[in-house]
Structure 1
């Protein structure tokens, strides 16, 4: 477990981005070496691509654990991703609201109620996921490219048929 070079030590209320294979997991630092995070049943540190199975879950548990245990062998960084756009809530409120939810089972959705939504909701009062927004943008671009390719193929095929007639 190691933060990126030059990364500050986490402070209470900081968002922690954990780099798992193929995706990022998010937690919120609550002090004394602990984080609180939303954990679907398949989210296990060091489990590799198998953790991506969280896409099939509809419930997750709010867990408090040592940062080093949540991170496992993965890298992490402090990433208060929306600080430039949103004002963080008071640290005491962030930590208290995180601690109150420990042990609760909450609805989970990879697209609308994931671990990043959970921690940004705690820090900013607005549940957002940059990961989902980025994936949605890529899917929209890929869909547009596929549609354009389909139109081009249909046009080319139609043009060839006319030439053969």
Structure 2
């Protein structure tokens, strides 16, 4: 269980709500929906900062947000009531591992989960102009349901970027790959790989072609790519 508890720090913490809402909560819902429509417009791109990443969604109006989130539960259950409940850490992490997700609609409060919501910040960095709000919302609603998930190649940011700008791109993925490339494809790594190869050759006391070729080729490739 330790890996799940550790990974939960990177994702959304969520508590499963009770099956029946209180009468007071039901009375407050229309008011919350009106507040959402005062703060956001239909088709707005909403983003919520998390611990190590940002979660994205599309505002649909009436206090509702469409967003893509990893979830393993639809694989094992067809109970729509259970599936509609807020996604827990275990459901989310297992969904990431098996590459299963769903585009679902939640309330603004459940989407934000107590964090600050930022609106349309991607308009400042995306080279493409945003589509009309109604078209953005229609795209977001059309894609509802189960989808394949990839942490790098199709995540919540790819989903909202397609809905609002018509392009599948993730700046978070780009930054992550850039950081990994800088860490692995550096001159210091090339030197360390060459030194490790030399030490292994000396330790095993072999200079055969099969051993010498990777010991020379790998550091050379890293050096040229750095």
Give the alignment's TM-score, normalised by structure 2: 0.56
Quote how far apart the aligned CAs of 1:53 are.
5.8
Quick check: which has more Rg, 1 or 2? 2
Over aligned residues, Cα RMSD in angstroms? 3.0
Report the secondary structure of 1:109's partner residue.
Answer: coil
Query: Residue by residue, what CA displacement relative to the aligned partner does 1:13-41 show, whole Å, maximum 9, x if unpaired?
Result: 12111112222111111122211001111
Q: Find out whether 1:151 has 2:181 as its counterpart.
A: no
- Give the equivalent residue in structure 1 for 2:107: 66
Name the CA distance, whole Å, in 1 between partners of 2:99 and 2:87. 20
1:83-121 superposed Cα distances (whole Å, 9 cap, x missing partner): 55111112111111212233x111111111100000110
Give CA deviations for 1:42-72 in whole Å, capped at 9, x if unaligned: 7x6785xx95665424121111111111111
Instruction: Give the counterpart of 1:13 among 43, 46, 56.
Output: 43
The 3 A distance-change label for structure 1 pair 138 and 53 is farther
CA distance in 2, matches of 1:19, 1:110: 17
Q: Does 1:75 align with 2:116?
A: yes
**Residue in 2 that maps onto 1:95:** 137
Residue 153 to residue 87, structure 1, CA distance change in 2 (3 Å): closer
Unaligned ranges ≥5, structure 1: 1-7, 159-165
Higher helix share: 2
Pairing 1:3-152 to 2, within 5 Å after superposition: 9-41=39-71, 47=89, 55-84=96-125, 85-102=127-144, 104-145=145-186, 147-151=187-191
| Distance of aligned partners of 1:20 and 1:53 in 2 relative to their CA distance in 1, 3 Å threshold | farther
> Any unmatched runs of 5+ in structure 2?
1-37, 73-85, 199-226
Asked if structure 2 preserves the Cα contact closer than 8 Å seen for 1:45 and 1:70, the reply is: no
Once residues 101 and 94 of structure 1 are traced to their aligned partners in structure 2, the CA distance between those partners, rounded to angstroms, is 11
More strand, by proportion:
1
- Asked which structure has the greater RCO (Cα within 8 Å, sep 6+), the reply is 1
CA contact (8 A) 1:46 1:72 kept: no
Structure 2 Cα separation of the partners of residues 35 and 26 of structure 1: 9
| Residues matched between the structures, number | 148
